[in-house]
């Protein structure tokens, strides 16, 4: 029977350089219902603010069961590893399906191997991980479901009448984001790893609250000191970025993040509203966004300094409008440190490891007015592309009606 794999040609080429070959695609799933008791308990917790433990545990259990079934199916297929492991939530009416997918890998053609590792990295990323010295151990994740709560909401509303940081909101968001990071590194330590690499972070709505989930690959690097066996290093750099940093003799120390929630204040909102009637800069908003950005960045700088990092690489910043004159500013990056003597196995990263694969099937039926019929990229972002996609659809319809 032919092998049915999700790996692209570039991924297969990269992995073949490491003695790994494509195996079959595998799937694991689990369908859950919140249930009356779980819903009532989570509702009471949501009133208090902070983590909603019932939902955190339910989602964690569902994700874990789907992953375990994925691994069991992979073991039946035979293979030495699993790559491209995903862990998604699919809404099915009043139920939730937890879905894991991946592709098996073989080190020989006999299909009689034992599963040695699982990884969230795709084939190109996995090549970069291994070449940079990070031997994969297993797919790991950390999640937390949280709510601002009535208490935080009331205090936040009162504080939002004056200009400046709304500490109640900042504390909730900072605590929950760090909880997810703590849990993914704990899971890695339990797996015998000293690093978590390629971390991807998502924030998802779930049963009236928000779930923050981090997924990545627990791995071992021989140059990391023994102290990281108990508290693994963490990184949200792409694996290609991480390869380049090891080429420069840097290793990741910790994913660092900082959050600031700021309010323009009642008087500021009125002033800003009046100012918006005339052309020119909105000085109050300019100052507010600047202060929020500086506050979030200062927090990740302080975290990096506290662990002895040399730099913070790959810093990304996000601004969210929370309404009522409130904005959240999130800064996230990876603290790194120079370690003389650290080098990847290869002198150059091959082009096949960095080429972006293109989708060759474009479905415009389920995405009306949003995607260009002529687009060959995996995704289109930005208002200009979306408007052009809508115009293309309209032009096509007019031609058909002539």
Domain boundaries, the chain: 9-351, 359-402
Cβ partners under 8 Å of residue 66, min gap 6: 28, 29, 30, 87, 98, 99, 100
* Residue with more model confidence, 230 or 174: 230
% of the chain surpassing 90 pLDDT: 51
pTM of this structure? 0.81
Span 96-119, pLDDT tens digits: 899 999 999 999 766 668 899 999
H or E segment and range at residue 60: helix 53-77
Q: What's the whole-number mean pLDDT along residues 180-208? A: 92
Q: Collapsing DSSP states into helix, strand and coil, what is residue 109?
A: coil
Span 52-99, pLDDT tens digits: 888 888 889 999 999 999 999 999 988 899 999 999 988 877 788 999
Residue 377 has pLDDT above 60, yes or no: no
Give exposure, 232-265, as e/b (b: 16+ Cβ within 10 Å): bbbbbbbbbbbbbbbbeebbbbbbbbbbbbbbbb
Residue 141 has pLDDT above 90, yes or no: yes
Cβ partners under 8 Å of residue 317, min gap 6: 293, 296, 297, 329, 330, 331, 332
* Residue with more model confidence, 370 or 69: 69
Residue 211: the pLDDT is 86
Q: How confident is the model at residue 149 (pLDDT cuts 50, 70, 90)?
A: low
* Residue with more model confidence, 280 or 377: 280
Residue 35: the pLDDT is 65
Residue 151: the pLDDT is 39
Paired tokens of 50:
């902070």
Span 265-304, pLDDT tens digits: 644 544 554 455 566 666 777 777 788 888 889 999 999 9
Count each helix (H run) and each strand (E run) in the chain, helices first.
Answer: 10, 13
87-92: long-range pairs with CB below 8 Å, 24+: 87/63, 87/139, 87/141, 87/213, 87/215, 89/59, 89/204, 89/206, 92/31
Give the distance, in angstroms, between the CA of residue 38 and the centroid of all CA atoms in the same chain.
Answer: 27
Lowest average pLDDT, out of 18-27, 135-144, 151-160, 171-180, goes to 151-160
Residue 40 has pLDDT above 50, yes or no: no
Residue 401: the pLDDT is 46
In 3D, which of 346, 337, 275 has the Cα closest to residue 304? 337
Q: What's the whole-number mean pLDDT along residues 209-238? A: 94
């Amino acid at each position: 029977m032919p092998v049915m794999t999700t790996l692209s040609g570039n991924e297969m080429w990269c992995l073949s350089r490491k003695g790994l070959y494509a195996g079959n695609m595998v799937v694991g799933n689990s369908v859950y219902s919140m249930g009356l008791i779980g819903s009532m308990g989570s509702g009471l917790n949501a009133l208090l603010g902070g983590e909603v433990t019932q939902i955190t545990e339910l989602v964690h259990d569902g994700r874990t069961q789907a992953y375990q079934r994925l691994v069991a199916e992979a073991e039946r297929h035979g293979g030495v590893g699993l790559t491209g492991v995903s862990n998604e939530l699919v809404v099915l009416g009043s139920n939730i399906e937890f879905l894991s997918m991946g592709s098996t890998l073989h080190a020989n053609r006999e299909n009689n191997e034992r599963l040695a590792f699982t990884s969230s990295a795709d084939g190109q990323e996995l090549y970069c991980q291994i070449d940079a010295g990070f031997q994969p151990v297993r797919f790991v994740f950390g999640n937390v479901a949280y709510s601002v709560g009535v208490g935080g909401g009331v205090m936040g509303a009162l504080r939002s009448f004056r200009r400046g940081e709304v500490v109640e909101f900042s504390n909730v968001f900072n605590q929950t984001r760090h909880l997810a990071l703590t849990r993914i590194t704990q899971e890695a330590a339990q797996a015998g790893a000293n690093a978590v690499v390629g971390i991807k972070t998502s924030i998802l709505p779930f049963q009236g609250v928000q779930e923050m989930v981090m997924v990545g690959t627990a791995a071992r690097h021989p140059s990391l000191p023994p102290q990281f066996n108990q508290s693994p290093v963490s990184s949200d750099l792409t694996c290609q970025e991480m390869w380049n940093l090891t080429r420069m003799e840097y290793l990741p120390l910790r994913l660092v993040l900082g959050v600031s929630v700021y309010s323009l204040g009642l008087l500021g909102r009125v002033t800003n509203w009046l100012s918006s009637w005339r052309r020119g800069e909105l000085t109050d908003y300019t100052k507010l966004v600047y202060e929020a950005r500086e506050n979030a960045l200062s927090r990740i700088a302080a975290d990096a300094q506290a662990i002895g990092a040399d730099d913070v690489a790959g810093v990304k910043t996000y601004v969210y409008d929370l309404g009522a004159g409130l904005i959240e500013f999130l800064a996230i990056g990876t603290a790194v440190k120079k370690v003389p003597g650290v080098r990847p196995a290869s002198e150059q990263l091959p082009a096949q490891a960095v080429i972006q694969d293109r989708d060759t099937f474009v479905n415009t039926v389920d995405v009306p007015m949003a995607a260009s019929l002529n687009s060959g990229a995996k995704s289109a972002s930005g208002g200009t592309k979306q408007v052009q996609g809508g115009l293309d659809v309209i032009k096509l319809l007019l031609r058909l009606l002539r």
